[in-house]
Structure 1
Amino acid sequence: MEADTVLKSPPTDDTAARVREVIAAAGVSQREFARRVVMDPSKLSRALSGTRRFTAAELARIADEGRVDAGWLLGTRPREKAQAPAAGVEGGRPLQIVRETVRLIAEHGFHAVRVADIARACATSSATIHYHFPGRAELLEAAVRWCMDEDTARRAARLAEADDAAEELRQLIALQTPRTEQQRRQWAVWLDLWAEAARSTTVGLLHSEYYRQWRETVADVVRRGVGQGVFRAGVDPQAAALTLTALIDGLATHVLSVSGPSSAAAADAMHAALTAHVDHTILAQ
């Protein structure tokens, strides 16, 4: 739903019920719907239970995803006034905005990216960007959350392909080695967000939660490997996860500092170093 104005009326008591209708019509879980509208799942849950109010920007994104009129969600217009999504926008305007924001952050850094740049990349107006994400802080939070969700989904897909925990760990290492353009862009975004996390409480909390989940994923894999007998019996899963993730971060930072043909050799060296570490400290002999 394209719009150049903000929502004026406050949400009514029936707004949560209408949002539930939209989620039900989408045929996905509440958590998945929160991912699609780039919203904190806990905030969506509290808004649906009535312990917090939806913001205008959240309702704009929900309306866009549900292909309904935002006024209907507010109770100010009938549902018949639902509008079609903007032509050619895959996944809806909010996700397009977030994806383009992530791309621009990877290329230029967050503080060099202006709302006007994002609007130009989305072939829309700055007013539309502000309609869905009123401020830079909210847009950055949405970009961080989207990156977290995408990374989590990729990890889950890789783990599902593995036959045992040793192969799971190899898949995770391959996924975190910045070889492809997409992987290098993802790492460039994370490096920029690390710096921002030191200055922003919101981003810092998201960053801490993401790394807690990431380390726990690795620890779970190590724990399964010990149980399967493919990893050493005395390995501490938490300590092994902390060391391995720290190695990945440090080596990836080095790889990203190298450009041109040398970057492929640097990625190979990173992969070899991580594999050697696993072989020498974790893998059963």
Structure 2
Amino acid sequence: MPNTAGDRIQDGAGEIAERVREVVEATGCSQREFARRIVMDPSKLSRSLSGSRRFTVAELARIADAGRVDAGWLLGSGSTEDTAPDTPKTPSTAPAPGGGTRTTAVPAAGRPLQIVRETVRLIAEHGFHAVRVADIAAACDTSTAAIHYHFPGRAELLEAAVRWCMDEDTASRAARISETGATEDAAAELAELLALQTPRTEQQRRQWLVWLDLWAEAARSTAIGRLHVEYYRQWRTTVADVVRRGIAQGVFRTVDPESSALRLTALVDGLASQVLASAAGAEDGTGPDDMHAALLAYVRTELLAPAAG
């Protein structure tokens, strides 16, 4: 019986894991970066490479797409039958052992990333439960079979969309803080983090709208709930670390960093929800400027040391 996209592939001898490892090494990027490009939980990739977890058909399809290799080679068949229905093969620059081909660079985008980006856009515009796989396929100018080839079901698509937003959010924060040099000053870094969480741009609004769907699904789905916990743990840890450094620098009061991070991130969530509702047509609502001013006021009254205020 043919494997379906969600099936896990037997790899008793570790041959598939070894081929995937070769693909990752050939790209020249880190394992975590490769996981980001195939929209996969880095810990799942690590466990699959170590042999404690089996790859799914869909994950191998995304790996083949990102590494520009033949999916049949990854599976050890040496055939092209497992190539995505609408993904053309790219001429190789290096031979792969056992048959098939590979290149030595990860493309900046591929079919899986296109699918995820269009999913994010459609969720932001219509809500997750109003978006059909057929809508995503039409937006990507492909077939529903191609969508399912990379992401077996709606839950996997939502998880991938949220993970992509998480990665984009983390990358944006790192880039902006690096550009402004805010890492030298904890107060400036915290202000920059809060500015990045204020939904002003279209991209920021899209990400926040996806978060709203994440909150709703997290209460019903164990898998999405775990992703929700993971994101907020990372986000609160980031804020707590900045507060902790600010205390050491003498710019913040001596407070409990974790407790302060919990309150501040909750305030960000609540205000962002009001901003999105106002943009949707609510009267006398909260705008991005109001949100940003309220966040800075909280920092000034609750965190800044008297001499720093």
Query: Hey, what does 2:239 align to over in structure 1?
Result: 218
- Alignment map for 1:108-187 (pairs within 5 Å): 108-160=126-178, 161=180, 162=182, 163-187=184-208
Output the CA distance in 2 between the equivalents of 1:169 and 1:156.
12
Query: Hey, what does 2:252 align to over in structure 1?
Result: 231
Q: Is the contact between residue 271 and residue 286 of structure 2 (CA under 8 Å) also seen in structure 1?
A: no
Match of 2:263 among 238, 243, 268: 243
Output the CA distance in 2 between the equivalents of 1:230 and 1:221.
11
Query: Secondary structure of the residue that 1:258 maps to in structure 2?
Result: helix
Output the CA distance in 1 between the equivalents of 2:8 and 2:288.
53
Matched pairs, number = 276
* Letter aligned with residue 223 of structure 1: R
Give the 3 Å change call, closer, same or farther, for CA 118–263 of structure 1 in structure 2.
farther
- Alignment map for 1:52-71 (pairs within 5 Å): 52-71=53-72
Query: Hey, what does 2:112 align to over in structure 1?
Result: 94
Output the CA distance in 2 between the equivalents of 1:138 and 1:267.
32
1:148-205 CA distance string (max 9 Å, x none):
1111111222332313000001101100111111111111111111111111110011
Structure 2 portions without partners, runs of 5+: 80-95
Q: Is the contact between residue 255 and residue 263 of structure 1 (CA under 8 Å) also seen in structure 2?
A: no
Query: Hey, what does 2:86 align to over in structure 1?
Result: none
Query: Hey, what does 1:32 align to over in structure 2?
Result: 33
- TM-score by structure 1 length? 0.90
Q: Is the contact between residue 8 and residue 55 of structure 2 (CA under 8 Å) also seen in structure 1?
A: no
* Higher helix proportion: 1
* Letter aligned with residue 241 of structure 1: A
Output the CA distance in 1 between the equivalents of 2:296 and 2:51.
50
Higher deviation after alignment, 66-75 or 157-166: 157-166
Q: Is the contact between residue 177 and residue 267 of structure 1 (CA under 8 Å) also seen in structure 2?
A: yes
Output the CA distance in 1 between the equivalents of 2:153 and 2:284.
36
Q: Is the contact between residue 65 and residue 110 of structure 2 (CA under 8 Å) also seen in structure 1?
A: yes
* Letter aligned with residue 188 of structure 2: E
Q: Is the contact between residue 64 and residue 71 of structure 2 (CA under 8 Å) also seen in structure 1?
A: yes
- Report the alpha carbon displacement of residue 46 of structure 1 after superposing the two structures with TM: 1.4
1:187-237 CA distance string (max 9 Å, x none):
1111111111111110011101100110110000000001011111x2211
Higher deviation after alignment, 212-221 or 46-55: 46-55
Output the CA distance in 2 between the equivalents of 1:109 and 1:150.
20
* Letter aligned with residue 252 of structure 1: A
- TM-score by structure 2 length? 0.84
Q: Is the contact between residue 38 and residue 145 of structure 1 (CA under 8 Å) also seen in structure 2?
A: yes
Query: Secondary structure of the residue that 1:257 maps to in structure 2?
Result: helix
Structure 1 portions without partners, runs of 5+: none
Query: Secondary structure of the residue that 2:220 maps to in structure 1?
Result: coil
Query: Hey, what does 2:21 align to over in structure 1?
Result: 20
1:241-284 CA distance string (max 9 Å, x none):
11111111111100101128989971111111111110111011
Query: Hey, what does 2:90 align to over in structure 1?
Result: none
Higher normalized contact order (CA 8 Å, seq sep 6+, divided by chain length): 1
Give the 3 Å change call, closer, same or farther, for CA 10–211 of structure 1 in structure 2.
closer
